[in-house]
Structure 1
Amino acid sequence: MKQRFSPPLQSLDELDRTSKYPHGKLMQHQEEPAQQLAQKINQIVANTLPQAGMLQDIAQLLGAAFDIDCCCLVSLTGEDSSEPIAANWCKPEYLVTNSNEIFAIEPVDLPVVQCASEALTIEFPQLIEQSLEIGCQQLHIPIKAVLAIPTKFAGKTNGVVSLIKSQPYDWSEDERKLLEALEASCAIAFSQVGQAQVIASQQQFVQTCAQHQSLIKQLSILSRSNLELNQMLQLVLTSTAEALQVDRGLLILLKYTDPLFRIRQKKQVPKAKATVIGEWSNPERYRNTIPGTLPDTVQETIQQALEQSFLISDCGLCQRIFIDSGKPIIVSDISDSPDVAAATPIFALEKLPAMLLMPLENQGRILGFLVLQHAEARAWQSAETNIVEMVSAQVSNSVIQSQTLRQVQMLVDERTAQLQRSLEVQAKLYEKTRQYVEQLRELNELKDEFLSNMSDRLRYPLTNMRMAIRNLRQPSIQADRQARYFDILEQECTKEINLINDLLTLQKLETHQERPQLENVDLNTRIQDLTSTFATKLSEKGINIVLELPPESLKIETEIESFDRILQELLANATKYSQPDTTVYLRANHQVIEQTDRVIIELANIGRGISEEEVTYIFDKFRRGRGRWTPGTGLGLALVKSLIQHLNGEITLASNQIEDSDFSKISFTLNLPQFSDEIKS
């Protein structure tokens, strides 16, 4: 319902004319008889377009002429598709108010509502009351007296003119006759408004037909294009939604999970999953409802909708399609259709209450749905349903053609692949054989290298021990030399035992995945105790060690023996390969990584750089960096990595060149779990 308000007249002659009659008695009609008022109304009709506010000007003229509180004009065209137009004129005190009170219209009775014409049938009082409800529903004015008259044009009632007083008032016979005399002129004005509505409706119809023709042309072009199916369906959905001026469009395809759906009984709901493959939303609606909304928000909404799916058994609206044998579902307003079953939340019927749900059907099989929705109640026209039905039929054919072509292509691809496999089988067998030979050669080289390194590491201490034993057998050996040879025997024996123990430990860690024996450890105290044992060796080379530990004691649950061995090997490695007069840094802190409490320990020293190639094998058994002539077994870092993995941790190595120097900063970083819940589980 269209409603307009007009301000009061402000010309000097009108103010002077109304001030002459302070008691509210009608005197203007004596100065301006009915003929003059009718002539003014005719001039307004002749010189003012209906869309520009013809009824407002007439209401303003009548309000000043009759010296009333409010004048209400309501156009009743009698067309079902046309909504009534109301125009109001009020005195200034009723235009703006701080009160939220809205005065209700009293029941129709003669003291309140009176008709200006005596030749009225019994239905006119009800007609006047309905016009007052339409025209005065937003007015803040108490209605205590109404003088109204229905207007007729060509034998049909086309409007109601109502004069309203906010206080009880007895309308005079002159006022009745004057309003009755103006009925013809007002009827002409209402007729002009009705004609304007009809013309606008016809123009809208012509525009709709042009849009439908354009849509049909676009669909014909798309059907001959080489676009991928989903792209074509999205363009079809966009064109259809824009042509019908809806707020939202959805294209849904079904995937049946019941292999017997082809022979199902009629009116039976099958087991199927519905997936949204196309979505369109009106950008203008987003801009009007959400201030500052950008097109990116619309795209995000579309993307969210495309990721949704639902089961047919969970949507009552979709089930009705199958129950009603493929008939479309037309809903003008979901609130006025209590018989509509519950729908899936994807449709958002609380925000988009008007819906047109058209099935995509081919030879009795429902392939999906084309859904059009509107944010306001909407009466779907037969022309709109026909065009949507045509679009649905074309979409169904496109889907079937695409599925058929896809099946044919899959069959061709499968047969081609079988032929290709039969042609390539000999080449693959040859390649497999070549790979096996290459692997055997590599394994043989690794075996030889392992045995060579193993024999060297085992023979070197034994050689030293045999030399010490021979020297001890000399009869004239001095006591100090005897003690020295005993020390050599003990040291080399210890090396041999440590090497064998390291090998056994590595084998045990690689073959038997035993759970670590966990204990709570004070990390600060443990690190300080371990570093103190290396203080003498570090000081002999002029190396300082700096501990950077958290101020509060850091607790960790781990296996003490494995943890000690890891730090001992890393400290021993730093002692061997650090340059003299440098500093070794040992840092520890707590971090939360992927919602898990972790302890990060970093040991950094200054020495010769490690290349990227060496980093790849530095943790392998018996592998040492090139140019490392310091004695060692080559098992230390391999054992460190195995123990770290045993504790469910990680170790990384970084070597960064120091500017203007031949040396690099070498950092080993340990990542250990602070608590062992995942290990225990």
Structure 2
Amino acid sequence: MELNLIRQEINELTLVSKDPNTLIQTLLEIISQRLQIQVGLWIPLENFPNVSYDTLNLLDSSQLASLEESIKIILLSNSSSEPEKKRSVLAYLQENFDLPYWEICPISAVDSQGWLILGSKWNLGWNHQLEETLATPFCLAIKTAKLQYQTQKNERYKRLQQQVIEVIHNSQDLETILQSAIADTAQALNVTRGVVFMLRYSEPTFSSRRQFSNPDITVQGLTQWAQTSELETELTSFPLTESANFLQAWQQAPTPLSLISLSNQSTEPSCLKMPYSMPSWLITPLMGTSRGNPDSQMVLGLLLLQNQTIRKWQQEEQEIVSWVSTQASTAIIHNKTLQRVQSLVDERTSQLQRSLDVQAKLYETSRHQVQQLEELNQLKDDFLATISHELNTPLATMKMAIQMLQKPELSPERQRVYLNILDQEWQREHNLIKDLLTLQKIDNEGLSLQVQSIYLKELLTSLGEEMTTKWQRKNLGFILNDETNLAEEEVLQLYSDLESVRRVFAELMNNAGKYSSEQTTVEVVISQSDYHWIMISVSNIGHGISPAEQGYIFERFRRGKGATQKAIPGTGLGLALVKSLVEHLHGTIDVDSEYSADGLGKTTFYVTLPKSLNNV
């Protein structure tokens, strides 16, 4: 009668139940309470949670889990018959529980297999009656729970697929994609731990993997997920041959490797060993692109799922994990392709940038050359115009003087005037030609220097007197200052080429007078900052030289705009000749000028010469 009531309660509970775990747990409690038993166990032989009921608190949760797994190992043994399994389970229970009586009932129906195990302090004596009475309602309840469990599982798998697709779509970071994929997969399958490993080949293997027992492949742990942090391990790299299970999974790829009750894990690499036993492994390969023959298809990595309790990996579970591995493999291939494309784009961009830089430099060089050619062409025009003017003007003047001298009625006084003009213009023409020839000679072969003793103050004084005569029209003064601080008995001497020194300061003093404002003074200063060197500066007051023009005043045939606009005579050779001569004398020349529109700017040329060319 009691069994019929239990049967009725089971049927009523099955009709109203919504949760599979609650349904089986409540069924076990009803049976245990109605039959007044102390321990109840439901051990399913499929991938369904174990359920227990213990009124005596004989075992804690970890001991109970170990007990359930041990019983499941016995029941899953294919080598034993049903009576032998019963005897083995009974012996194991009597060894671990202090209860004398046990009922061990196999409950079997289509798609529902498991064992109902009841322990009591007294003999229930029901055996076959218990099986026959409870088998049908219990199987119905299990089927209902299994259907509910399957529905929930399908929803988890669907959500898993959505999550994997979403993270692949939204992220470009491969490690983020794989971390999310392994975490979502492990949680959807309710496994203890999941790890993604990548394979690094020393040489790619394209023939059949089954022929390779010792491949040179390194396994590198990339990312992991675990139910608790204490179940995580440090991910390191190791040779593929150090793990027999990984080697087998690599050889039989693309088929996943399912390990239900792996007992010996001591030989595995450290990152695969856990603080707690992980008897159930599912190793799914991450495959590369197809090459026709699956055995020659490259394995990119391995996706490992580990469970802390024994579980049989269902076909649908392996299929969903294979689907995840396919998506992950596609993401890996896509990522590597993007990296190669990006690398190629970067290389091409770099090449293009270098090409553009070269073209820009060539363009800038060409533009600069064109600009130089234009400047040179302008200089040539200016030179030709200047030389033409400087050569023709004296010739025209000389021709006019000759024509006047040919007149018979010309008085002796006028003859002397025209003879002086003829002499001056000849001297002007001679100096111009002489300057050109001197520059040409310096450029081609240099001047032969005649080193002799030069009394510098006497030379500069003599030049000053000559220039003062020329400067009478502008009423210019001349001052020579000696700042060498020599004793009265000492005479300042240079040992250099007299002709070159004379021409340098004659040109500088001539220029100073030419560009001076009226009623100003040209000042020459001699100083000695070093025992071996003398500095002579030539200064004048005038409009000065603009900063832009100071950069090229020592170039040949280059004249300042002010000189040209004011029609100051000159060829643009004077300062170029001075610079060449100074450098030929192993000296230097510099200029400092203040430009002034009202003619009050000071311009100073500094010439530094060695006291003796014999010591240079």
The TM tier, using the shorter chain, reads 0.3 to 0.5
Relative to the length of structure 1, the TM-score reads 0.39
Structure with more relative contact order (C-alpha pairs < 8 Å, separation 6 or more) = 2
Relative to the length of structure 2, the TM-score reads 0.43
